[in-house]
A = this chain, B = another copy of it.
């Protein structure tokens, strides 16, 4: 539910905590300008800074946060404040936006496209400079693959624009990644809606509960993402051009929309809990009616039968010629009276 990778209490600030299941750090570089795109896969981290140029946009992709030394080296190269580096590595952090020394650090949370559990998130951090973007991903995933492909299109807006537009494109892909998950959750919610009324079992209750927890988690994440996006929009670092701001506003809007959908789902899921209760209560009521009708009809009959099962020597009825048929008449009358009573109560139309 909540596992934050945090240093021991009292450790000096800036301590990096590498998880045991952290993936090894792989660094790859893409450089492009209007004329060309260049992939630099095997690159010495120590000289990354030297790669940067004023005319080209450099995208340094850091995947996997398992290699403390490499991460520290990158931090040193790009003069990342130790506390910010801690935020990048010791995930999960709250999404946020920070400017330090003319660089912009954006910490975001992204849906893992092929995660086992829908709505599982990883932390993605973006360091945006004048002519470069450094992305830090938890996993060696393909989240940003579409961007790499769009870079091949020489006439695309992406190739024509600077690092700020690259950062926008990366953020946009992170936010848009929420939509398929929302659709999956919406489908599950609709299924639950059906089952809660038709078949309110404990298993449905369990699924409903897990759904609510997942929505609560997702909501917090999207909410703080939304705040971070909002902050980004009203930033004045000078790193983001007015043209890109228009695009960013659109992404911010998508984020808002996702968060509204989640709110609606939460309302829905919360209603479902009440509906579940009502549905179970209704079923218990129906079960009770059946029991009451059966018991209340047969118990008086059994009593009558019991009466004439007594062995008293002086029971004049026992010897009478027509008592047995008379008892049957009485039994039938009792039955009719009871059923009539239940029909008046309105309990019988549905049970039989």
Binding site for B on A (CB under 8 A): 1-4, 6, 8-13, 81, 83, 86-87, 93-94, 96, 113, 145-147, 149-150, 156-158, 169, 172-173, 176-177, 179-180, 182-183, 186, 189-190, 193, 197, 199-202, 205-206, 209, 212-213, 216-217, 220, 224, 246-247, 250, 253, 256-257, 260-261, 263-265, 267-268, 271, 273-285, 287-292, 294-296, 298-303, 305-315, 317-324, 327, 345-347, 350
Contacts and interface: CB of A to CB of B under 8 A. Distances in A.
Describe A's contact surface by its main secondary structure: helix
Closest 6 CB pairs of A and B: A10-B146, A305-B306, A308-B310, A294-B296, A291-B292, A309-B309
A177 to B, nearest CB: 6
17 contacts: A1-B190, A9-B146, A9-B179, A87-B253, A93-B257, A197-B202, A197-B206, A199-B346, A200-B282, A212-B271, A216-B267, A216-B268, A277-B277, A280-B282, A284-B284, A295-B296, A314-B322
A294 B300 contact: yes
A277 to B, nearest CB: 5
Contacts of A201: 282, 350
Contacts of A306: 301-302, 305-306, 309
B202 A279 contact: yes
Contacts of A216: 264, 267-268
Nearest to A309: B309
A281 B280 contact: yes
A268 B271 CA distance: 14
Q: Which of A182, A212, A324 has the most CB of B within 10 A?
A: A324
A2 B287 contact: no
B318 A312 contact: yes
Q: Which of A186, A257, A347 has the most CB of B within 10 A?
A: A257
B209 A275 contact: yes
Nearest to A1: B186
A176 B276 CA distance: 37
Contact of A321 (B190, B280, B314): B314
Q: Which of A190, A220, A284 has the most CB of B within 10 A?
A: A284
